[in-house]
A = this chain, B = another copy of it.
Amino acid sequence: MAPKEEASSAANETPKKMATLQLQQQQQQQQQQQAKTHIPTCNYSKRVVLKTLLSREDRGVGLVGERIVIGGWVKSSKEVRKQPPLPQPDTLPQPGPKTGEKDVTCTEILQNRMPIFRTFLKLFGVGNHAEKDSLGGLAHRVQHPVFSTVFLQISDGSCISSLQVVVESTLAPPGQILLNGTCILVEGIIQPPSTGGKHSIEVKAEKVLHLGVVEDHEKYPLSKKRLPLHTLRDWAHFRPRTTTIASITRIRHALTQATHNFFQNNGFLYVQVPVITTTDSEGFNNKFNVTTLLNKTKSEEEPTKGSSRNEVISGVSLASIKASLKEKSHQVEELKRTDSNREALLAAIQDLKKTNELASQLEAKEKKEKAKTTSAMVKPDRLDFTDDFFSCQAFLTVSGRLHLESYACALGNVYSFGPRFKAQTSHSTRHVSEMWMAEAEMAFSELEEAMSCATDLLKHLCKWVLENCTEDMKFVLKRVDQSIVGRLQSVVSTNFEKIPYCKAIDILKQVREKKFELNVEWGVPLTEEHESYLADEIYKKPVIIYDYPKEVKPFYVRQNDDGKTVAAFDVIVPKVGAVIRGSQNEERVKVLRTRIKELGLSSEQYEWYLDLRRNGTAKHAGFSLTFDLIVLLATGISDIRDVIPFPRSYGKISN
């Protein structure tokens, strides 16, 4: 539209100027044409992702005049009341200044106008506003006599920025769309912002394609602005709608990419190690049992309730068929009672018969299946793992490194990336029961090389976030941690301090200004307190500590020649702690066997692991990186439960 106006005003100018103008006009049109062909819709939806508009260099300005579909959730809103205009349901939107605008926040409007709304709704017989949730109820309210324009800031999670969407009250009832959290999908035209401010463009809605209202404003937790992170934890299913958790999720996503990217660039093969295992990989007692003994007991108690499904029959539920059977019987009874239509009755009876047949078939199949499992059913007073699903006690894996070794001792360098589990009852801001770890194992590598690989990985991850998450890091810098970028840059550029355990002990012993909870002495394990003192106070940069006393490290770590220390290392990062723990593992079968005996570990479970040493053993080293801690490191968030989508910890699980 703009070029046309320019052209007409140019009509009185000299021919030369006109030619120039025409050229400019053509160029502009070309550019616009180009732009028009450059709004890719989200590949598997009609909508355009907001990032596509707002992350352009021109912040979408070149797309003015385009018709698009966009969808998202309301982050904030305001309503501007106006004099009732003539109804104009089908005309195109009229950009330009509006009359009677009032710049009030959503909350103010709601507080002030809720009674008025309620009165209107009652007058129109719509009933309790909070109970309406389908588009079916909208027709009434379209005739709402007070006309207004609603300005919504909507976000679709693709970027930090939100888009202003202008919706006239003739299209959707303001009382519904004004509420934070409302989902809206609209078709509209991109236009220059009508309200000024920071916006580069806005979308003037012409059709509301979908509306997902907030049923009860009071109960919806995100109605309140800026809830603290610890409160949001109770609403894990809603919190990705907040800017902070959305940013963390995108950064977490980028870090996942970076992790795979690092290993793949360095020739590591990805191996999916098992979650269910019988191997105690760290002599760690607090493991989760994986069992079917408990639910068997339960299903015995209530045999009719279980909706056991047979896998051969893809995705079918006997309970579901039975429910349908019941429903159909009712239908037949109803038809018999009313005697309304003989044909319909016959059809219904036929249908009922078929369903009945199906139910019998399924039931027979399930009985057969159940007969098989009977041997696994156990009364709780005679717990015997030979009756359990795997015929022995099985656990959730604590670490995948032992299984990875099996692949390293065949394929060279391998890595794994998956969930690991510890049933620890302590409350910590650094650990939960289920955490993701990236683990690497390298054949023909020794301690030094594992340390250097761990260092490179850590630097790679920090660099990746700085380079690929610019917008989100700006937000984190502003709202979470003002020193975050500097800290990440320092991890990328400084040489990590590398000290043996004995030196760490010597240094900590000399500390006078602090009394540690656990006394420092050669042989003690380093606590979080010790570790953070070294990284945060003394070196002020990442520290690698290596050659630990054998007593403080797992049985599989390679014994050094001194007979006292083992080739383990930890990478400690300021403010976050030990993000990587690694080691060269024992390749000598005799030493390994002695160590297992010394620790009183049940050697039977390690026979397969010892097998790897007995047959073609190789020197090898590796490490585990606690991925969730890396997200802490990258975001400056202080509690790990805020960077994990659905955190699980002692007594805490809600979905």
Asked if A521 meets B185 with Cβ closer than 8 Å, knowing A433-B389, A452-B44, A553-B315, the reply is: no
Copies in the complex: 2
A124 within 8 Å of B (CB atoms): no
A336 within 8 Å of B (CB atoms): no
A521–B359 CA distance with the chains assembled, in angstroms: 12
* Chain B residues, CB < 8 A from A411: 156-158, 240, 246, 249-250
A256 within 8 Å of B (CB atoms): yes
| Closest Cβ–Cβ distance, residue A613 to chain B (whole Å) | 8
| Chain B residue, CB-CB nearest to A653 | B390
Going nearest first, the 8 A-B pairs with the smallest beta carbon separation are A157-B411, A316-B525, A240-B410, A212-B617, A183-B616, A285-B308, A237-B406, A44-B449
What are 24 A-B contacts with C-beta separation under 8 Å?
A158-B412, A181-B615, A212-B615, A212-B616, A212-B617, A237-B403, A241-B410, A250-B269, A253-B270, A256-B270, A257-B264, A272-B436, A276-B653, A279-B655, A284-B307, A290-B290, A311-B422, A312-B426, A317-B552, A323-B551, A323-B598, A358-B521, A369-B426, A390-B650
Interface string of A225-248 (1 = CB under 8 A from B): 000000000001110110000100
A543 within 8 Å of B (CB atoms): no
A216–B283 CA distance with the chains assembled, in angstroms: 28
A291 within 8 Å of B (CB atoms): yes
A78–B181 CA distance with the chains assembled, in angstroms: 73
Asked if A284 meets B256 with Cβ closer than 8 Å, knowing A289-B291, A654-B278, the reply is: no
A73–B305 CA distance with the chains assembled, in angstroms: 55
A42–B265 CA distance with the chains assembled, in angstroms: 11
* Chain B residues, CB < 8 A from A396: 275-276, 290
- Which of A257, A290, A442 gathers most chain B CB within 10 Å? A290
| Closest Cβ–Cβ distance, residue A210 to chain B (whole Å) | 6
Which of A13-21, A31-39, A376-384 makes up part of the contact surface?
A376-384
Asked if A444 meets B653 with Cβ closer than 8 Å, knowing A286-B309, A578-B314, A598-B323, the reply is: no
A381–B380 CA distance with the chains assembled, in angstroms: 6
Asked if A423 meets B292 with Cβ closer than 8 Å, knowing A653-B392, A654-B608, the reply is: yes
Choose from B288, B436, B453, B531 the contact partner of A292 (Cβ within 8 Å).
B288
Does A523 lie within 8 Å of B434, measured CB to CB?
no
* Chain B residues, CB < 8 A from A443: 45, 71, 156
| Chain B residue, CB-CB nearest to A424 | B311
Does A425 lie within 8 Å of B273, measured CB to CB?
no
Asked if A277 meets B426 with Cβ closer than 8 Å, knowing A240-B410, A445-B44, A617-B183, the reply is: no
A220 within 8 Å of B (CB atoms): yes
A29 within 8 Å of B (CB atoms): no
| Closest Cβ–Cβ distance, residue A186 to chain B (whole Å) | 11
A518 within 8 Å of B (CB atoms): yes
A271 within 8 Å of B (CB atoms): yes
**Residues 337-393 of A contacting B (Cβ, < 8 Å):** 354-355, 357-358, 361, 369, 372-373, 376, 380-381, 383, 389-393
**Residues 113-148 of A contacting B (Cβ, < 8 Å):** 133-134
| Chain B residue, CB-CB nearest to A649 | B390
Interface string of A206-223 (1 = CB under 8 A from B): 000010111110001000
A93 within 8 Å of B (CB atoms): no
Which of A4-12, A480-488, A640-648 makes up part of the contact surface?
A640-648
A522 within 8 Å of B (CB atoms): yes
A309–B214 CA distance with the chains assembled, in angstroms: 47
A477 within 8 Å of B (CB atoms): no
A67 within 8 Å of B (CB atoms): no
A652–B391 CA distance with the chains assembled, in angstroms: 8
With an 8 Å Cβ cutoff, the count of chain A residues facing the other chain is: 187
Does A614 lie within 8 Å of B215, measured CB to CB?
yes
Does A289 lie within 8 Å of B285, measured CB to CB?
no
| Closest Cβ–Cβ distance, residue A141 to chain B (whole Å) | 18
| Chain B residue, CB-CB nearest to A210 | B619
| Chain B residue, CB-CB nearest to A182 | B616
A277–B655 CA distance with the chains assembled, in angstroms: 6
| Chain B residue, CB-CB nearest to A428 | B311
| Chain B residue, CB-CB nearest to A644 | B272
* Chain B residues, CB < 8 A from A526: 314
- Which of A287, A372, A600 gathers most chain B CB within 10 Å? A600
A425–B433 CA distance with the chains assembled, in angstroms: 28
A274 within 8 Å of B (CB atoms): yes
A561–B405 CA distance with the chains assembled, in angstroms: 54
* Chain B residues, CB < 8 A from A655: 277-279, 403, 605, 608-609
A655–B390 CA distance with the chains assembled, in angstroms: 11
* Chain B residues, CB < 8 A from A553: 315
A439 within 8 Å of B (CB atoms): no
Which of A82-90, A165-173, A293-301 makes up part of the contact surface?
A293-301
A450 within 8 Å of B (CB atoms): yes
Choose from B299, B428, B444, B588 the contact partner of A185 (Cβ within 8 Å).
B444
Does B276 lie within 8 Å of A434, measured CB to CB?
yes
| Closest Cβ–Cβ distance, residue A357 to chain B (whole Å) | 7
* Chain B residues, CB < 8 A from A324: 523, 550-551
Does A551 lie within 8 Å of B316, measured CB to CB?
yes
Does A44 lie within 8 Å of B413, measured CB to CB?
yes
Does A183 lie within 8 Å of B409, measured CB to CB?
yes
Choose from B49, B266, B653 the contact partner of A394 (Cβ within 8 Å).
B653
* Chain B residues, CB < 8 A from A284: 307, 309
Does B599 lie within 8 Å of A319, measured CB to CB?
yes
Asked if A43 meets B266 with Cβ closer than 8 Å, knowing A257-B260, A358-B524, A373-B425, the reply is: yes
Interface string of A524-544 (1 = CB under 8 A from B): 111110010000000000000
Asked if A551 meets B321 with Cβ closer than 8 Å, knowing A266-B44, A519-B361, the reply is: yes
| Closest Cβ–Cβ distance, residue A314 to chain B (whole Å) | 6
Choose from B287, B292, B652 the contact partner of A289 (Cβ within 8 Å).
B292
Does B271 lie within 8 Å of A249, measured CB to CB?
yes
Interface string of A607-651 (1 = CB under 8 A from B): 011011111111100000000000000000000000011101011
